[in-house]
Structure 1
Amino acid sequence: MIELLKTLTNLHGPCGYEHSVTYFLRDYLADKVDEVNVDPIGNVIARKKGTKPGPTVILTAHMDEIGFIVKKVEENGLIRFEKLGGHDDRILLAQPVKISGSNGVVQGVIGTMSAHYVKFDDPSKVRKHSQMYIDVGALSKNEVLEMGINIGTPITWGTEFQVFGPVNRPRVRAKALDDRAGCAVLVQVLEELQEISFAGEIIFLFTVQEEVGLRGAKTAAEHMQADAAIAIDTTAVSDTPEETMDQTLGLGRGTGIKVMDFSLIVHRTMKDQLIQLAEQQEIPYQLEVFPGIGTDGGAVTFANKGIPTGVLSIPSRYAHSPVEVIDMGDIEATKELVKAFILNLHEGQSFPF
């Protein structure tokens, strides 16, 4: 799954500009499912029918990554930008970025003053993103335009995929693991279902614009009839030394079975079934109560007359940064629990309140 993660995170797909991810998944899944299509706003919807009657289940993960968009090009060639999704201004300075210009990808860096000038500045000051700029090496506005960059051009982090940590317990560092890691889980589950009999029908829903309000999931789920759903996303761990961390979620401790977040109080039947399966299959898990985030599960659960929805969270350090970190053991546990849920489906199964 590491190579799949590398491929997916290397794609450029900030909110509203997920095109490269959408087209990759559409083409990659085409011969593995019964039907795949792209809806008008870019969601990828793939259906796989089982060999036996059973319930219809949505499995969803979002394709978009946080990023930026060009707001203005200054006469001296420096670029002003706006955020796409949630960022912490404290980590923006001196970070590499990639700008998806009309002539190809352009390398850039978010500028910062030299450390030599700190003595003349307020070193405790955190400048807002609106005061920052991106340097692409241009000397003028015309040079920037000639590079294929203009107002509205999308921008992503410019960091590269890395595997690090002990050989027998690898971790991955990359941009966009939120939520290409969830996409990778669903793709891997689908790969492993190719030669396995299961009941019912699985709808694989890869959504756009989650980071700006669960927009893709809201749109797609309204047109789907399903008996249950599971959303796969990353979640921010609290196992580092900062004083605000409460040690309730940790990297390397297994998949997170969500109890609640600000978008969803998880359907009790779904939560209990996921816990039961994890214990039966000896899959490591941790329970997640974290009001600081929301997921597509919050949108899917409201669809139609209401869809019983569970959420599995892949623990992540440094979320919404250019160096997000996940443990491969956690992503494997997430994949195994999704797979166990599917293989446990049977005819006549329901998910009552």
Structure 2
Amino acid sequence: MDKVLKTLTELHGPSGYEQEVSYYIQEEMRSVAEDVRVDGIGNVTARIKGEKPGPTVLVTAHMDEVGFIVKKIESNGLLRFEKLGGHDDRILLAQKVRVKGRYGLKRGVIGTIPAHYQKFDEAGRVRKHHELYIDVGARSKEEVEKLGIDVGSTITWASELEYLGDEETGRYVGKSLDDRAGCAVLMNLMQSLQDQQFAGEVIALFTVQEEVGLRGAQVGMAQVDCDVAIALDATVTSDTPEPLLDDTLRLGDGAGVKVLDMSLIAHPTVKEHFIQLAQEEEIPYQPELFTGIGTDGGAVALANKGVPTGVLSIPSRYAHAPVEVIDLEDLKAVEKLLLAFIKNNDEQTSFAF
């Protein structure tokens, strides 16, 4: 898991430009799955059939990460940019980024005024992203072009996966854990199913463009039929001391079992099945109810004629920042609960409303 997670998080794949991630997952899945396909916008599907009849279970995780895209190159070599996905303007200043141009990744920083000027500035003012710029070390527009950077070049955070504190904490910090952590769990599941007996079929759907409106899931679901669906995604914890947080979801307390978010009211049969399995298997879990987020589960549930859909969430601190934090024990709990869900199915299993 460590190696796959590190590889996935360090790939460059903002929304709409997930090629590196898609290619990597394709190659890895071809060694374990019977049928691997890539659709026109980059979604990857892989299928594994069990030894006995049973339901078709679709499990989905999104490949894209929040990022930026070059909007304009100034005459002095600074880059103006637009957002790809949801960002908080308050954390943009003075962050390191990577710009992917024609000649690969180039280092950059989002500029800010020095602290010495602060007393002349408006106290408390948050600069909007369209006021900001990225410095890639170029002195002119021509030097930017020599670096291979153009309007339309994509940008991600410049951070690598590391242990927070040290490996004894069991916590990771890095970029794109939303939702490369979910992709790692799904890839690991498909690998482990080679050695497991289960009923039915499992379809893995790795989607693009989740962060800009669940677009990949809408396309992906038009091409598959399933009896039940599970979305894997990072979710936000509320266990730090900010006044607006209510301590209802904690890092390290187990898998999140979705109850409700802005995109989905979890199917009651699927939700209750997760809770029952978690209790029987003694897998740590915590109910998750938060209207400030959405997942591919929202698009999956409304696909075709309607699909019973649940979500397993990976608790995360500092979402959509270069320093997202997850706990390895939560990741393991999600994986165990997902595997238990699949192995518990048989020919009589129903997810009727």
Tell me, yes or no, whether TM beats 0.5.
yes
Corresponding residue of 2:119: 119
Corresponding residue of 2:6: 6
Structure 1 residue 169, shift from structure 2 partner? 3.9
167 and 68 in structure 1: CA distance in 2 versus 1, 3 angstrom threshold: closer
Q: CA separation in 2, counterparts of 1:335 and 1:127?
A: 40
Corresponding residue of 2:273: 273
Q: Secondary structure at the match of 1:326?
A: strand
**Greater shift after overlay, 216-225 or 40-49?**
216-225
Q: CA separation in 1, counterparts of 2:165 and 2:35?
A: 39
Runs (4+) of structure 1 moved beyond 6 Å? none
Structure 1 residue 223, shift from structure 2 partner? 2.0
1:218-240 deviation line (CA, Å, top 9, x unaligned): 11112211000000000000000
Q: Secondary structure at the match of 1:32?
A: coil
Structure 1 residue 4, shift from structure 2 partner? 1.3
Q: Secondary structure at the match of 1:307?
A: coil
Q: CA separation in 1, counterparts of 2:276 and 2:188?
A: 22
Q: CA separation in 2, counterparts of 1:59 and 1:165?
A: 32
Matches within 5 A, 1:25-174: 25-165=25-165, 167-174=167-174
Structure 1 residue 345, shift from structure 2 partner? 1.1
In the alignment, is the contact (CA less than 8 A) between 1:283 and 1:336 conserved in 2? yes
Q: Secondary structure at the match of 1:194?
A: helix
Structure 1 residue 167, shift from structure 2 partner? 4.1
- What residue ranges of structure 1 are gaps of 5+ in the alignment? none
Q: CA separation in 1, counterparts of 2:68 and 2:178?
A: 15
In the alignment, is the contact (CA less than 8 A) between 1:169 and 1:328 conserved in 2? no
**Greater shift after overlay, 143-152 or 77-86?**
143-152
1:221-272 deviation line (CA, Å, top 9, x unaligned): 1221100000000000000000100000110000000000010000000000
Letter in 2 for 1:124: G
Matches within 5 A, 1:241-252: 241-252=241-252
Structure 1 residue 191, shift from structure 2 partner? 1.5
Structure 1 residue 143, shift from structure 2 partner? 0.5
Corresponding residue of 1:350: 350
Q: CA separation in 2, counterparts of 1:165 and 1:314?
A: 20
Letter in 2 for 1:6: K
Letter in 2 for 1:66: V
1:186-218 deviation line (CA, Å, top 9, x unaligned): 011112111111110100000000000000001
Q: CA separation in 1, counterparts of 2:146 and 2:49?
A: 49
Letter in 2 for 1:143: E
In the alignment, is the contact (CA less than 8 A) between 1:262 and 1:293 conserved in 2? yes
- What residue ranges of structure 2 are gaps of 5+ in the alignment? none
Identity value in percent:
60
In the alignment, is the contact (CA less than 8 A) between 1:169 and 1:329 conserved in 2? no
Q: Secondary structure at the match of 2:195?
A: coil
Aligned-residue CA RMSD in angstroms? 0.8
| Count of residues in Structure 1 that have an aligned counterpart in Structure 2 | 353
**Greater shift after overlay, 167-176 or 101-110?**
167-176
Q: CA separation in 2, counterparts of 1:313 and 1:166?
A: 24
